[in-house]
Amino acid sequence: MPNQYVILHKPYGVLSQFTPELPGQRTLADFYLPKDLYAAGRLDSDSEGVLLLTDDGIFIKKLLEPGRGHERTYLIQVEGIPTPEAITALARGITIQGYRTLPASARLLEHEPTLPPRDPPIRVRLSIPTSWIELKLTEGKNRQVRRMTAAVGYPTLRLLRTAIGSVKLGELASGQWRELTSVEISSLKSSAPPTPASLTPRLKVHR
């Protein structure tokens, strides 16, 4: 039987696992996913967006190997408006908890991205504006993005992962999932940089 490969748009407040740690927690079991899947990596409960799942254990191990450097793309709403110096620091690498992050791609977005409101909404302080950063990393340490923005003085309010390698969130609504295309699977299995893709196909999605 062939392996299964799935992308889920993980909502805010959902654990990246099928079993709750405390009563009342939402988990991946809430989304009617195919049987015997495991998350290929993690996305924190308070983060949203791309989560890959599969029953291919070898694929999971290779995907998470640091040397493969699959690019992860994030949209981050932060408190305040970062200075050019702060954006440069995020791109060059900063030290957090005794570890220096690898060089990344970072830019301040000119316009707020078109996204549905988060449920629950972010906390807003009327006296402090918010802004959005796009950050592309080739590593994924625990709560790294939040620690990076905090280290340069701009706490994260909302965090959405929009892509892993060539697999993009596209038009998947929160809580929906679809199977990966053969092109997406091949790209992830390769150690080569992501290929420009047709990789946000209009495929059947599931609620």
Mind telling me the catalytic residues?
44
How far out from the chain centre does Cα 3 lie?
A: 23
Please state, in angstroms and as integers, the Cα–Cα distance from residue 188 to each residue in 1, 120, 177, following that order.
20, 33, 18
Distances (CA, A) of 148 to 58, 151, 190: 30, 5, 28
- What stretch of H or E contains 95? strand 95-96
Q: Which residue, among 127, 137, 144, has the nearest Cα to 79 in the 3D structure? A: 127
> Rounded distance, CA 47 to CA 177, Å?
16
